[in-house]
Amino acid sequence: MRIARPLRLLRFRSGGLAPIIVILAVLLVLLTARQPDFLSPPSLMSFLGRSAPVVLLAAGQYFVIVSGELDLSVGSLVTAQVVIAARLIDGDPSAGWPVVVLLLAFGVAVGLVNGLVTTRLRVPSFITTLGMFLILVGAVYLWSDGAPKGGLSEEFRLLGRSAFEDVPALGRIPYALLLLLAAAALALVLTRSDFGRTLVAVGGNPRTAELSGVRVWRAKTLAFVLSGLAATLAAVLIGGYSGVSFQAGAGLEFGAITAAVLGGVALGGGRGSAVGAMLGALTLETLFTLMNFYGVSGALKPTVQGAIILIAVAAASFRFPSR
Amino acid sequence: MSGLLPSPLLALRGIGKSFLGVRVLDGVDLQVRPGEVHAVVGENGAGKSTLMKVVSGVHQPDEGTIEFAGAPRTFRSPREAQQAGIGTVYQELTLLPERTVAENVWLGREPLRRGLVDRRAMLGRTAELLASVGEGSLPPDTRVGRLGVAQQQVVEIVKALALDARLLIMDEPTAALADHEVGQLYALVRRLQEHGMGVLYVSHRLKEVFALSSRITVLKDGRAVTTLDTADTSADQLVRHMVGRELSSYYPDPAQPQELGPVRLTVRGGGNRKLRGIDLRLRAGEVLGVGGLQGSGRSALARALFGAAPFSTGQVTVDGAPVRLRSPRAAIRAGIAYVSEDRKGEGIVAGQSVLDNALLAGRAVRPGRLGRGARTARVRELLAAFELRAAGENQEIRFLSGGNQQKVVLARWLALAPRILLFDEPTRGIDVGAKSAIHDLVRRLARDGAAVLMVSSELPELLGMSDRIIVMRDGRIAGELAAGATEEDVVALAVGTEREAAG
């Protein structure tokens, strides 16, 4: 028998994304029923711009989760980056780009430490990144004596809060959305690269990967670095959009993990797509918007996230009973 | 036989057991008398362990009866068998390392005094039991984790005694013991025998069987072939009973002398935790078979050559140049490929597609855009040549049959054009048709100039495929056999009857 020609290819490719697309569509329908102009260009553009940080974090989290690990440190990394940026820039308009480069380096460094401690010292990533979370929170408090110092320059904040104005048909295109699209394209290229496919194999079966010549520790460490970079970009957007605060990144790690799981990325690794994780983030944001319109208390957000994680993981274990 | 024999302690009649439609035990009869050490021998997969698990209540037989101490019994759990007086010392020890000897012995049945554990009674009774088996020097308040394997075994046995066991099952008890510890175990078993205890003794090692047992039952393919009085039996006879089957003839032709090329791989003095003093040469064009029992080091040898559990001593050369095979990656770069015996655990990524699985090694070792299209094309070609049966190259590999999964694993390696191939049980769990396809492929690879090392526990496969066979025992190469060797030759080397190897 020969391999059947790739006619069926589409079915297998879309198989993983179908549920999240359906959920997102249903939520959008519910949302437009309540708020008919939600899907109008200006409102949609601003929604996508606002969602950009979480979508970025979900993409970063995808790489870590698909490799079989978990990154709980991204929320506090976002906070740390915002606070660091504020203190270093301290209102100086010319400090913007150098500080962004520095933040990127810091994001890479945090990812490297997370990755190396997890793979080389064999600390479970849940613990490694929980430790990193606490370390960053404490260090930032110590470094700024309990209250954020300095301030972000207007130039630095442009990326997070400004937009191309008066674009025909669409109106306003936030810079954040453009950054997001660029990052999403990059994520897509990465997931289809040799590295991306190998990373899925590492999460799916590390023994097989190792015995096929994969340097498992290196692949996982790179995944953490990608997550650190995603958190840095998210921090730049959040700093610009909402300013400096110790709460800047609070809870974002759970948002990102919930989004990834909702988008079909299997906890434990080996299954899922970056697109799914990003759609998961949009779905989550849509859901929160919907809750807002229907007057549901914002205090319920964590409860909803928790319920989603439980349901999504349980649903996945029905779809893919033991490997 | 004349005279009155004591009535049997344990009598199995017509025991049958199937797993997923595969008949593992078929009409097994076996009797153990009080004070008898009854050995059970057979090849890997003959059904020894399953039979022991039936007696100890882990498995329930599909048919047949178990009579113990004169009454018919059914054991629905190991606990019921224990309470009836059947103790088991497993291959892997099951003690709690952080507790003391006495705590382990009385675990779950601690003697109580006014509702509290009576430590003194516990220690005292443990000491008595230890003394009764001649191990009085072992303090009952030692932490088990500090004891060696042999002493832990003593604790397991004493634990069984504390339950008033009258029959003790010992499944490969010496597998993890050093030579001098084996002697201690012998003494212990004999003392149990004097106490009138029956012992069911499973072992691969004929030396032990002859040293300890009074009778031997041979299992083969799930049937009890025969029960022999040890005193009237020679090692050769026993081996013949264990093997006794015809060699089928559908294997591809072996290599002709002129087809053998230069030496591809040499090992001198190779050793690690599981291997000692390995010397071997592997030539281009030949299939070197590796035989031996489970745990003899045959898989460890393949893993050492692949860098998965590297040699810690000795020298390895590939094509004449010294190499250090410290990791699978290093081995792959040296032109070595390895097909694991554990396909599911180490061979495939179950949730990834056929294509992703086939590309894995290439992506890992030679990543990058360059040659990416050619690599994919090569893998597709190989999959087509292997007549892979799949719904498409994007189907997840877990939905494929074992044989087709193995074809994908082979394609992964052949895409790298390795010069040395290590196969560990390449046809395990594969149906007959796919089996001979893989046999043909292995031979074709050798003919094309690859050097092949193939581990197999299936004797017909080992004899049918190999140009030369080395047999492993206790981490060493016990001997080498030329083509034309018999199953008896292999088994004799594997179990270590002191007999000269033919060829």
What is the pLDDT, as a whole number, of residue A7? 39
Interface of B with A in 307-336 (CB under 8 A): 308, 328-329, 332-333
Identify whether A293 is part of a domain. Answer: no
Report, in angstroms and rounded to the nearest whole number, the Rg of chain A calculated over CA atoms: 20
A162 three-class SS: coil
- Give the residue on B whose Cα is nearest the Cα of A194: B363
Would the CB atoms of A212 and B389 count as touching at under 8 Å?
Answer: no
CA-based nearest residue to A259, from A15, A89, A58? A58
Number of domains making up chain A: 1
Give Cα A307 to chain centroid, integer Å: 19
- Rounded Cα gap, residues B199 and B86, in angstroms: 10
B179 Cβ partners below 8 Å, 6+ apart? none
ipTM score of the complex?
Answer: 0.87
- What are A98-136's pLDDT values in tens digits? 999 999 999 999 999 999 999 999 999 999 999 999 999
Identify whether A1 is part of a domain. Answer: no
- Rounded Cα gap, residues B122 and B127, in angstroms: 9
- Look up the domain containing A222 and give its range: 40-287+300-316
Would the CB atoms of B353 and A4 count as touching at under 8 Å?
Answer: no
Segments making up each domain of chain B, as ranges: 1-85+166-174+184-243, 95-165, 261-335+418-503, 355-417
CATH code of the domain containing A203 = 1.10.3470
Distances (CA, A) of B412 to A174, B409, B433: 46, 5, 21
Are domains B1-85+166-174+184-243 and B261-335+418-503 of this chain identical in fold? yes
User: Mutation test of the interface with chain A: which of B369, B394, B409, choosing the one with the most A Cβ atoms within 10 A?
Assistant: B394
What is the pLDDT, as a whole number, of residue A157? 87
Identify whether A321 is part of a domain. Answer: no
Categorize the per-residue pLDDT at B336 as very low, low, confident or very high, splitting at 50, 70 and 90.
Answer: very high
Residues of A in contact with B400 (CB under 8 A): none
What is the pLDDT, as a whole number, of residue B247? 41
Report, in angstroms and rounded to the nearest whole number, the Rg of chain B calculated over CA atoms: 26
Whether B16 contacts B25, CB under 8 Å: yes
Cα of B372 to nearest chain A Cα, Å: 9
| Alpha-carbon torsion angle B160, B163, B167, B168, nearest 10 | -10
Q: Which CATH architecture has domain B1-85+166-174+184-243?
A: 3-Layer(aba) Sandwich (3.40)
CA-based nearest residue to B402, from B426, B378, B384? B426
* A9–chain B Cβ distance below 8 A for any pair: yes
- What are B269-298's pLDDT values in tens digits? 999 999 999 999 999 999 999 999 888 999
Identify whether A111 is part of a domain. Answer: yes
Would the CB atoms of A201 and B393 count as touching at under 8 Å?
Answer: no
Whether A96 shows a pLDDT value over 50: the answer reads: yes
What is the pLDDT, as a whole number, of residue B285? 94
Q: Kindly state the DSSP code that residue B143 receives in the 8-state scheme.
A: B
Identify whether A17 is part of a domain. Answer: no
- Give the residue on A whose Cα is nearest the Cα of B353: A12
Looking at CATH, the fold of the domain delimited by B261-335+418-503 is given as Rossmann fold (3.40.50)
Whether A9 shows a pLDDT value over 80: the answer reads: no
What is the pLDDT, as a whole number, of residue B12? 94
Identify whether A132 is part of a domain. Answer: yes
Categorize the per-residue pLDDT at B177 as very low, low, confident or very high, splitting at 50, 70 and 90.
Answer: confident
- Give the residue on B whose Cα is nearest the Cα of A213: B329
- Give the residue on A whose Cα is nearest the Cα of B358: A212
- What are B107-160's pLDDT values in tens digits? 888 888 888 888 888 999 999 988 888 888 889 998 988 888 778 888 888 888
Q: Which amino acid is at A36?
A: P
Name which of A197, A204, A214 is nearest B351 (Cβ-Cβ): A204
What is the pLDDT, as a whole number, of residue A139? 92
Residues in chain B: 503
